[in-house]
């Protein structure tokens, strides 16, 4: 039987929070603060039945698949309130670590700006289904639209499914990562069967119209009509097949500008930890020598190519190193004028602990997880660093995820004197 509830707030995943008549906390998706709703209660989950009193901030969702697709949770909220909530997620994450700080307004991103998509595919009697998982389900929703994606990906769903059709057996599932580059789509398929000679010939015909620059299947390159490039003159990035890339170009630019401004005129050299394909490395290298440290070989290979084809940059040295198991030690850090770290969602606890013992004048932390960034910030603050700014970037539109850039300056006194560092 449905129960009437009043939504008091939103949780960190975007679900409405209410309290039942018995005092139990429940989470009700697709609701907003202040709304009176009816919902079927199943443990801590409430399944929305009807909205009795809608919020004045409720708007029409941008996508026909909203509430069914598992990708978005907040298309129904007015942008101003939605962005304020995302800012509060960051405020709360830092407050939980005892850090009271001013958090800047969220830097927004526009719809149809997501340049990287990860599709799930399955082969049925009717053919290949390409889409995203349904909400709280392993079933695949065959999408007809996605207002997150850039048109170059959204309008080529049928072509992408046709590529997979050649290599998928009935009842099997696969994953396809698609990146929109300036030279075409970079497509990486994982979980399909191994291509034969006839498959190579058939799949190669997909390159004729130039819309797909590269196709990779389980790490093996099937064809490359043009090298995938992301151009930001004079810098060129070369994404690795299926590898990590910032989800939108505008958020990448915003974060790179924040990092660049934070380092300012501090001089070099600069250390870029968890450098990836060089999102921050190459922009910083226009002004300073940079040491880029990354654990994944294929990302460093992509960065190496970018270094060779970008112009107007200074010396960049790369180093492969697992920073989770073997973080840069204080003695290795002492010659750098600034450090940037951009780890995966788990954060950089071990590296933050060594940074906290260092004498690096400026540190910039970038993270897609405010909770782990706040933890790492607490470590740096306790080690004698001052948190100078926190800026959220809404890279993951209509979701409960947010990117954050935090900047730090060494506050404790040190008598150490730096010496020139060799980047080799």
Instruction: Give the active site residues.
Output: 368
User: 94: which DSSP letter?
Assistant: H
| CA 307 distance to own-chain centroid | 23
Tell me which residue of 157, 185, 5, 148 sits closest to 66, measured CA to CA.
148
What Rg value do the Cα atoms of the chain yield, rounded? 23
And the tokens for 388? 């100078």
Residue 269's contacts (CB-CB under 8 Å, 6 or more residues apart) are: 288, 289, 290, 291, 335, 336, 337, 421, 423
Place of tokens 């997501």: 114
User: 50: which DSSP letter?
Assistant: E
Q: What is the CB neighbour count within 10 angstroms for residue 245?
A: 23
Binding residue positions for S-adenosyl-L-methionine: 246, 274, 294, 342
Q: Do residues 58 and 76 touch, judged by C-beta distance below 8 A? A: yes
- CA–CA gap between residue 214 and residue 189 (Å, rounded): 11
Calculate helix-pair angle for 79-95, 370-382, nearest 10 degrees. Answer: 40
Tell me which residue of 181, 191, 195 sits closest to 225, measured CA to CA.
181
Place of tokens 């949770």: 73
User: 242: which DSSP letter?
Assistant: T
- CA–CA gap between residue 372 and residue 378 (Å, rounded): 10
Q: Do residues 76 and 32 touch, judged by C-beta distance below 8 A? A: yes
């Amino acid at each position: 039987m449905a129960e009437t509830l009043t939504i008091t707030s939103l949780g960190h995943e975007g679900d409405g929070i209410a309290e039942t008549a018995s005092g139990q906390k429940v989470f009700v998706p697709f609701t907003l603060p202040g709304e009176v709703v009816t919902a079927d209660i199943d443990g801590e989950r409430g399944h929305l039945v009807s909205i009795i009193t809608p919020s004045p901030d409720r708007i029409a969702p941008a996508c026909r698949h909203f509430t069914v697709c598992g990708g978005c949770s907040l298309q129904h909220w007015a942008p101003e309130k939605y962005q304020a909530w995302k800012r509060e997620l960051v405020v709360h994450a830092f407050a939980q670590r005892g850090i009271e700080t001013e958090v800047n307004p969220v830097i927004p991103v526009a719809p149809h700006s997501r340049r990287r998509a990860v599709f799930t595919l399955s082969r049925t009697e009717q053919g290949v289904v390409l889409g995203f998982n349904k909400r709280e389900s392993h079933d695949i929703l065959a999408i007809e639209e996605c207002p997150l994606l850039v048109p170059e990906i959204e309008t080529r769903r049928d072509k992408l499914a046709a590529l997979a059709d050649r290599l998928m057996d009935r009842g099997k599932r696969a994953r396809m990562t698609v990146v929109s580059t300036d030279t075409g789509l970079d497509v990486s398929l994982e979980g399909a069967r191994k291509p034969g000679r006839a498959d190579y010939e058939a799949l190669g015909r997909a390159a004729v119209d130039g819309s797909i620059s590269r196709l990779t299947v389980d790490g093996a390159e099937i064809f490359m009509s043009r090298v995938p490039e992301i151009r930001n003159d004079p810098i060129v990035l070369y994404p690795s097949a299926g590898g990590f890339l910032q989800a939108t170009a505008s958020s990448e630019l915003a974060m790179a500008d924040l990092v660049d401004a934070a380092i300012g005129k501090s001089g070099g050299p600069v250390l870029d930890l968890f450098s990836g394909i060089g999102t921050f490395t190459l922009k910083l290298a226009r002004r300073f020598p940079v040491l880029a440290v990354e654990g994944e070989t294929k990302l460093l290979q992509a960065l190496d190519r970018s270094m060779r084809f970008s112009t107007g940059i200074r010396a960049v040295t790369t180093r492969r190193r697992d920073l989770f198991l073997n973080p840069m030690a204080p003695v290795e850090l002492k010659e750098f004028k600034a450090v940037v770290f951009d780890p995966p969602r788990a954060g950089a606890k071990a590296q933050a602990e060594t940074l906290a013992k260092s004498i690096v004048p400026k540190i910039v932390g970038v993270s897609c997880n405010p909770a782990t960034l706040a933890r790492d910030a607490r470590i740096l603050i306790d080690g004698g660093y001052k948190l100078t700014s926190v800026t959220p970037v809404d890279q993951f539109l209509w979701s409960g995820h947010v990117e954050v850039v935090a900047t730090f300056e060494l506050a404790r006194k040190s008598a150490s004197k730096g010496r020139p560092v060799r980047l080799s």
